Amino acid sequence: MNALTSWLFARRAAARAKRARGEAPPADPPRHIAIILDGNGRWASRRGLPRTAGHAAGAETFRQIATYCRDIGVEYLTVYAFSTENWKRPRQEVEAIMDLLGKYLRESVETMERDHIRLKILGDPAMLSDELRALIDETAEISGRYEGFQANVCINYGGRDEIVRAAMRYAEDYRSGAAGQLTEELFSGYMFSAGIPDPDLVIRPGGEMRLSNFLMWESAYSELYFTDVLWPDFTPADIDAAVAEFNRRDRRFGGIKK
């Protein structure tokens, strides 16, 4: 058994043990949690594995955390999987990430109806492979058929890129007379995230304290939570800790405490 497989077995066993213990999920989960999936490369390097093994482990973590978020009553989970800046990485690493995203989407097409998970891809699909684009269309078509928990996966996503695209599309509509005076609400409708409520909580594992171009428009009033845990090591208990911290925060939105 290689290092990655034994890690996977141990992780699944720990999740089963947690469920068997019947540990209580956190009360009052936020409606929308967003996560910057960071730390895959360091996780692998620390184990003497190639960075790509970290991305494979991170994909498994995402499956588990998405299921957990759905089970505790979160309505939307948005994850940052590949940024508009990540194309700067070595070609081999980019290809490995794209292969994993394809594998994830192929599996999702088979399981999302059974598991009641809607899946939306946020980002510019133009630079993605034909296969990935077809899978994105297929998951969108399946998601349109039912209600329920929604996972949003940001691929070739950049917060600034999203705003620029929205501005260009609005300008076209304004010129043609299809759109009127611009308001914040109207502009939100031009984002990749149109129709999705803003994230209440943004979590960044991996120890960095920055947003790295994630949801620049949508996170204006999100609560931010940073942890040193590397994404592949992230467990439902880390979600519980972040939610507990979120519930201690006083969200004032510019007002004053009542």
Active-site residue set:
38, 86
**Nearest-approach distance from CB 95 to ligand IPE, in angstroms:** 12
Cα separation of 14 and 226, whole Å?
Answer: 23
Kindly indicate which of the ranges 15-23, 35-43, 55-63, 162-170 contains the residues binding Mg ion, using the contact rule CB under 5 A. 35-43
Lookup result for tokens 């588990």 = 64
Which residue in the shown chain puts its C-beta closest to ligand IPE?
41
Q: Is 42 annotated as a binding residue?
A: yes
User: CA 31, 254, 154 angle in degrees (round to 5)?
Assistant: 40
- Asked if 202 and 77 count as a contact pair (C-beta separation under 8 A), the reply is no
Q: Which does 217 bind (CB under 5 to 8 A by kind): ligand IPE, Mg ion, none?
A: none
Binding flag, residue 80, Mg ion (CB under 5 A): no
Kindly indicate which of the ranges 19-27, 39-47, 177-185, 234-242 contains the residues binding ligand IPE, using the contact rule CB under 6 A. 39-47
Query: Nearest-CA neighbor of 188 among 157, 219, 145?
Result: 219
Out of 36, 56, 57, 151, name the contact with ligand IPE by CB under 6 A. Answer: 36
Q: Is 7 annotated as a binding residue?
A: no
Binding flag, residue 83, ligand IPE (CB under 6 A): yes
Binding flag, residue 38, Mg ion (CB under 5 A): yes
Query: Nearest-CA neighbor of 142 among 179, 165, 169, 111?
Result: 111
Q: Is 119 annotated as a binding residue?
A: no
Binding flag, residue 232, ligand IPE (CB under 6 A): no
- Asked if 155 and 121 count as a contact pair (C-beta separation under 8 A), the reply is yes
Cα separation of 217 and 75, whole Å?
Answer: 20
Kindly indicate which of the ranges 8-16, 22-30, 31-39, 144-152 contains the residues binding Mg ion, using the contact rule CB under 5 A. 31-39
Residue 125 identity (one-letter amino acid): P
Out of 64, 212, 235, 247, name the contact with ligand IPE by CB under 6 A. Answer: 212
Cβ count near 186 (within 10 Å): 14
Quick one: tokens of 122? 């946020």
Residue 87 or 221 with smaller CB distance to ligand IPE: 87
| Cβ neighbours for 37, distance < 8 A, ≥ 6 positions apart | 58, 61, 62, 79, 80, 81, 205, 231
CA distance between the termini of the chain: 57
HSE value, Cβ hemisphere, 13 Å, CA-based, for 53:
16
Site for ligand IPE in 188-207 (CB under 6 A): 206
Kindly indicate which of the ranges 30-38, 110-118, 159-167, 172-180 contains the residues binding ligand IPE, using the contact rule CB under 6 A. 30-38
Instruction: Report how many residues bind Mg ion under the rule CB under 5 A.
Output: 1
Name the 3-class secondary structure at 129: coil
Binding flag, residue 231, Mg ion (CB under 5 A): no
Binding flag, residue 100, ligand IPE (CB under 6 A): no
- Residues at the contact surface with ligand IPE, assessed by CB under 6 A: 36-42, 80-83, 86, 97, 206, 208, 210, 212
